[in-house]
Amino acid sequence: MKSLRIFGAFLAVLGAAPGVFAQGCALCYTYASAEGAHAQKQLDFGILALLVPSLLLFVSVFLLLLRRAHAPSA
């Protein structure tokens, strides 16, 4: 339970950092603004398609580590 609190505090500090929300690719921004609405929606879909597998991998590894940390020692 202590590691979960530490992780939550880490996420809170990371989310409060001022530079976190300033990240962005200038090339992606200029490309998306030059294209039409359909291309902008396709770019959003592409970002989501790349985000989902990596997020699932991260969550599954994190859950595996939590499960292993709480497993009884043999």
What predicted TM-score, i.e. pTM, was given to this entire model?
0.50
CB contact set of 39 (below 8 Å; sequence gap of 6+) = 32
pLDDT tens per residue, range 1-50: 777 888 888 878 777 766 655 556 777 778 777 888 888 888 888 888 99
Q: Where are the domains of the chain?
A: 25-74
pLDDT tens per residue, range 38-54: 888 888 888 889 999 99
Q: What angle do CA 43, 55, 49 make, to 5 degrees?
A: 25
CB contact set of 4 (below 8 Å; sequence gap of 6+) = 66
Give the Cα separation of 13 and 53 in Å (integer).
Answer: 25
